[in-house]
Amino acid sequence: MSDSSPAHPAVPVLDVWCELQCPDCRGALDDLRALRARYGDRLEVRLRHFPLEKHKHSFAAAQAAEEALEQGRGWPYVEAVLGRVEELDRGGESFLVEVARELGLDAEEFDTALIDGRHILIVDADQAEGKAIGVTGTPTYVIGGERLDGGKSQEGLRERVEEIADRLLAEG
């Protein structure tokens, strides 16, 4: 169906470079919830993957998050996994499939996706882009061309994101 109404102004995008086995990313969940609650669909919050070598299940977790996104429950899945980082440390891929089942997703499809690697290219591309723009740890936020590194401290980051988002919305 073609849409003849005037084009909607571009919504500012907040890229969140994240890793699902990262305790610091779990700390960022409250900020992300608050930002999504405050802006709703006036701000596009995009999960970007930056699995770190030191976390052996983070690459599989990134693929699982993509599968959850495909099944329509990306953020609930991300929040569920991040909220239980220690269980991911212990359980690895079987834990990732279990969380999918708990959320009523197609767990068999998760299992298959992790085996056939259908989401690896997306994860690799995110990681490469992250490295290219200077992401070194997670969480890192990018909005309006500005990179905010939450890996060291998340103090004041949400306020900074809100300042930039408000400015972009005002300009938009």
Confidence of residue 56 (pLDDT cuts 50, 70, 90): very high
Sheet strands side by side (includes 140-143): 44-49, 13-18, 140-143, 146-149
Amino acid residing at 154: Q
pLDDT score at 9: 61
pLDDT score at 48: 97
pLDDT score at 130: 96
Given a cut of 70, whether residue 4 has pLDDT beyond it is no
Averaged pLDDT, 86-105:
96
pLDDT score at 8: 54
Please list, in sequence order, all residues whose beta carbon lies within 8 angstroms of the beta carbon of residue 90, skipping any fewer than 6 positions away.
none
Averaged pLDDT, 106-125:
97
Please list, in sequence order, all residues whose beta carbon lies within 8 angstroms of the beta carbon of residue 86, skipping any fewer than 6 positions away.
none
pLDDT score at 5: 47
